[in-house]
Each structure stands twice: as C-alpha cells, then as structure tokens.
Amino acid sequence: MPNITVELLRGRSLDQRRRFVEAVTEDAVTHLGARRQDVRIVFTEIGAEDVANGGVLAADDASRAEVLARHGQASTA
C-alpha cells in the first residue's frame, strides 16, 4: 500500500488537487503495481514563512513572488 505525502504551499484549488491525486494514483498503479484503492495521498500545506531554500524563507525570496501571489500568499521581498 503506497502512502504518499505531499508538502505544498497553501492555496492550491480543490480541482488542482483532484487532478494531482488522479495522476499520481494512476502512476502508482502503473509503476508500482498497487491496487488503486490502496493508494493513499496526504497533503500537508505549508506557508511561505514555513519553508526555506538556500537559507532564504520562501516568503522573502523575490524569485518566488509570482508563485506566492498565484496561490494567495504575499511575499515580503
């Protein structure tokens, strides 16, 4: 039984999640030989203030400003 945990920035829509879980479930069935009903996916939402790359909080990273805005999170950069 594959248990898949996905961390992502807050703000993804329900439709985006539906498409994602469908695609990932299909891949688990195809590539892992899992039964569809045994594929478990859990989303953990994180805020831009909760994650850093290269020593810079996502909230402070100007290169992420467009992504953050698209998902309803303001950048402080």
Q: Report domain extents, the chain.
A: 1-46, 48-77
Per-residue pLDDT tens for 3-37? 999 999 998 999 999 999 999 999 999 999 999 99
On the question of pLDDT at 75 being above 70, the answer is no
Coil, helix or strand for 76?
Answer: coil
CATH of 1-46, one of 3.30.429.10, 3.60.15.10, 3.90.950.10, 3.40.50.720: 3.30.429.10
Rounded CA gap, 22 and 29, in Å? Answer: 11
Cross-strand bridge partners of residue 46: 9
Contact assessment for residue 58 and residue 66, using Cβ atoms and an 8 Å cutoff: no
**Above pLDDT 90, what percent of the chain?**
69
Contact assessment for residue 51 and residue 8, using Cβ atoms and an 8 Å cutoff: no
What pLDDT is attached to residue 40?
A: 98
This prediction's pTM: 0.80
Coil, helix or strand for 17?
Answer: helix
